Amino acid sequence: MKKIFSEILSLLKVLAITFLVTTLLTTFIINPVVVNGSSMMPTLQNHDVGIAYVITKKIVGLNRFATVTVYVAESDKYLVKRVIGLPGETIYAKDGVIYINDEPIEEEYLDNYIRHEFESTYKLPFTEDFPKVRIPDDYFFLMGDNRRNSKDSRDYGPFSNDAIKTNSLFIFYPFSNFGIK
């Protein structure tokens, strides 16, 4: 009887330690991520699997063009988006070009072939026009790379720093999309 009790106690210790380590890892170091949807195509594909770094956000903060996960209270979901606008900036899009503080930005991460194909096929700009927005302090303007198929700051408004949970993703499956995004 003592042996069974000892084994059960040992198992409970292992489970408690596993739970504690998992909780600490996902709170302070990394979060697992499964991409759901096409809003970040072509950078990320639907069902890509990887990890997002919580610790990098805590150490280096958020930079323009970083890929982040953000909590959206309205849908009670986490989304993967890209940081486009920083606190205190003004942002708008006109004729398919995004302007920050009235200067056009170069979006090198976007696949120019896909952008060109979309614009020549549909005769529409890849990025729809949106009015000028001033980004409040401690808020960020986030957008999906697949501009015509993304709910982002154009729909929800700028996101608070607290709503953005991670900075930078490492995709490990499928292998064709392997790497830091």
Digit-coded pLDDT (tens) for 130-181: 999 999 999 999 999 998 889 999 999 999 999 999 888 889 999 888 888 7
Preceding peptide of 125 cis, ω within 30°: no
Q: How many domains does the chain have?
A: 1
d(CA 37, CA 100): 27
Mark whether 10 is an active-site residue. Answer: no
Mark whether 77 is an active-site residue. Answer: no
Q: Looking at residue 101, what is its pLDDT?
A: 98
> What CATH number should be reported for the domain holding residue 161?
2.10.109.10
39-43, 122-126, 162-166: segment of lowest average pLDDT: 122-126
Cα dihedral: 89, 76, 23, 14 (round 10):
-160
Q: Looking at residue 14, what is its pLDDT?
A: 87
> Is residue 56 scored above 90 in pLDDT?
no
Two tokens, residue 90:
């003004």
> Is residue 26 scored above 80 in pLDDT?
no
Query: Mean pLDDT across the stretch 9-34?
Result: 82
Q: Looking at residue 124, what is its pLDDT?
A: 80
> Is residue 1 scored above 80 in pLDDT?
no
From the list 81, 150, 168, 181, the catalytic residue is: 81
From the list 39, 150, 153, 168, the catalytic residue is: 39
Does residue 33 sit in helix, strand or coil? strand
> Is residue 7 scored above 90 in pLDDT?
no
Query: Mean pLDDT across the stretch 48-72?
Result: 89
> Is residue 113 scored above 70 in pLDDT?
no
d(CA 69, CA 162): 11
The residue segments making up the domain with residue 161 are 2-180
